Amino acid sequence: MSAKSFATAINCMDGRTQIPVIEFIKNRCRVEYVDTITEAGPDKILAENKDHTIVMSIKKRVEISAMKHHSKALAIVGHHDCAGNPGDKDAHVKHIKAAMKTMRAWGYNIEIVGLWVGDDWKVMEVK
């Protein structure tokens, strides 16, 4: 792990997801720090790609992380019991995959990762 290595997480604002996601990304991506961008139900927001104001806000924050911190990876997170995006795991996985497509279209030359946080608050990668 090199000094000041970063990844970026677009995560729900739900505090229950923060620590498990950060720990998972640090281990999976072999980084020291995780820049965190939070919204309520970000997987659905980016999957639908309709709310231009919020999508552009997220994209601008990703740009800062990618350009200033040279982030190695960009993760989108969905989770169990999400107040901002109520739905079952299958619905979230569809949103995560669609959100990853939106994020790839932004053109940053970094790995895009989809993550699901289950009812046990354990993180698993969505392929």
Burial of 47 (0-12, 13-18, 19+ CB in 10 A): buried
Instruction: Tell me: pLDDT of 3 over 70.
Output: no
pTM for the model stands at 0.95
Does a structural domain hold residue 116? yes
Q: How far apart are the first and last CA of the chain?
A: 24
Task: State the Cα–Cα distance between residues 82 and 88, nearest whole angstrom.
Answer: 9
Q: Which two tokens stand for residue 81?
A: 């019991």
CA distance 62 to 58: 6
Percent of the chain with pLDDT over 70: 98
In a domain, 101, yes or no: yes
* Residue 87, domain member (yes or no): yes
Q: Tell me whether residue 66 is in a domain.
A: yes
Give the structural domain span for 107. 6-126
Domain count for the chain: 1
pLDDT tens figures, 71-123:
999 999 999 999 999 999 999 999 999 999 999 999 999 999 999 999 999 99
Quote the tokens at residue 41: 């139900």
Does residue 17 belong to any structural domain of this protein? yes
- Which of these ranges, 1-5, 23-27, 79-83, 84-88, has the smallest mean pLDDT? 1-5
**Could you give the CA distance from residue 109 to residue 104 in angstroms, rounded to a whole number?**
9
Note whether residue 1 is domain-resident.
Answer: no
- Give the CATH number of the domain where residue 55 resides: 3.40.1050.10
